Amino acid sequence: MAEHGRKRSWQELAPLDRGGMAEALAGFPVQCREGLALGEGVPLDGLAGFSRVVALGMGGSGIAGALLTTLLPVEVVPVRDYTLPGWIGEESLAIALSYSGDTEETLSAFDEARTRTKRAVAVTSGGELGARCSANGIPWIRIPPGHQPRAALGYLLFPLLGLFRRLGLIPDLGEALAILDELARELAPGGEENEAQRLAQRLAGRVPLAYGAGPTAPVAVRWKTQVNENAKAPAFWAELPELCHNEVVGYELMGRLLPQGTVVFLRSRHDHPRVARRIAILEEILTNRGLDWIEVSGRGEGLPAELLSLLYLGDWTSYYLALLGGVDPTPVAIIRDLKDRLSR
């Protein structure tokens, strides 16, 4: 954030955002409400009666399926691959999530899913996925085009929440939406320095290791991937309590191999008591070894509000990290190059 020894203001850094990521992030609560409305229009005929949800999706589209694992009271299996586990059958509801509609892994898995179960639905802006659904009489939710997939989470997730709310599987989302409105006002550029900007300054030049537990594990994935894609920087994630059985041993050489690492504990009032105790002990261990860590919490009483606010804070933090790193948050040149090479 320094230029010739002078600290540059957020206003001075804003022109780096040539792709308009701040505008997309600020519109997240609006996306969520519009997404809910889209989910209200999905015909339920043939969808009810499932015992398991299989969420097929990659990258910024797939995170919606991962979040369903914490928000639905039924088993949700995220699939980020070309093929399905062998045990998925007719009792499953297959959901294909592809913002573009052209994600090859998702198309492959969805074609296989349609041979296993008649219960299927898709969320996409169109593309090949929309065409295949239309050709085969499969209901699909058409969402607005023109966004980066990771900046369209409201459109990818909330139509499904609207659908599952109609099936009696999702609690009221009023608290979550109200808190997202608050955060949109607080975290956007302008005015006094906000929490996301302070977190970005705390993490600037460092490698975040996002730690989640239970319901916050998918949020930890989102924190990691948003730093990767928006800030163009390395970041990692791990899940409690599992990491206490392996990753912690890496602390022995972390100070030498990754001195710029910062563990980010994503906290929840719904943390298991023993997980909370493990976090307290880990913080002591990290401190005693001279390793860096911080805690970040969401807002709200209900789980949807807490998780979505924690996720939204991470999205904004990654945006400000991009500005501090001198990069436009929107382009993902390496992903585009990889896809171009695969298509040849």
Q: Where are the domains of the chain?
A: 2-18+175-324, 21-170
Distance, CA of 283 to CA of 277 (rounded, Å): 10
Query: Residue 147: helix, strand or coil by DSSP?
Result: coil
> Is pLDDT at 263 greater than 70 in this prediction?
yes
> Has residue 46 got a pLDDT over 50?
yes
Catalytic hit among 175, 229, 239, 247:
229
Q: What is the mean pLDDT of the chain?
A: 95
Asked whether the predicted pLDDT for residue 4 surpasses 60, the reply is no
Q: Do domains 2-18+175-324 and 21-170 have the same CATH topology?
A: yes
Predicted confidence (pLDDT) at residue 152 exceeds the cutoff of 50: yes
Residue 278 identity: R
Whether domain 21-170 has CATH 3.40.50.800: the reply is no
Contact criterion met (CB below 8 Å) for 98 and 127: yes
- The predicted structure's pLDDT at residue 99: 98
Residue 290, phi-psi category: left (phi > 0), alpha (psi -120 to 50), beta (remainder): left
pLDDT bucket at 2, cuts 50 / 70 / 90: very low
- pLDDT bracket for residue 6 (50, 70, 90): low
298, pLDDT greater than 80? yes
Q: Is 101 helix (H, G, I), strand (E, B) or coil?
A: coil
Top pLDDT among 7 and 230 is at 230
Q: Which fold has domain 2-18+175-324?
A: Rossmann fold (3.40.50)
The whole-angstrom separation of Cα 152 and Cα 19 is: 14
Identify the bridge partners of residue 57 per DSSP, sorted by sequence position. 97
Model confidence at 336: pLDDT above 80: yes
Residues 81-111 have pLDDT tens digits of 999 999 999 999 999 999 999 999 999 999 9
Q: Is 339 a catalytic residue?
A: yes
CA-CA distance, 339 to 258, in Å (whole number)?
A: 31
Query: One of 4, 7, 245, 301 is an active-site residue; which one?
Result: 245
229 noted as active-site residue:
yes
Q: What is the pLDDT of residues 197-217, one digit of tens each?
A: 999 999 999 999 999 999 999
Give the confidence band of 3 by pLDDT, cuts at 50, 70, 90: very low
Give the E-state strand segments of 119-276 in sequence order. 120-124, 140-142, 207-213, 236-240, 261-267
Q: Are 57 and 80 in contact (CB under 8 A)?
A: yes
Average pLDDT over residues 37-65: 94
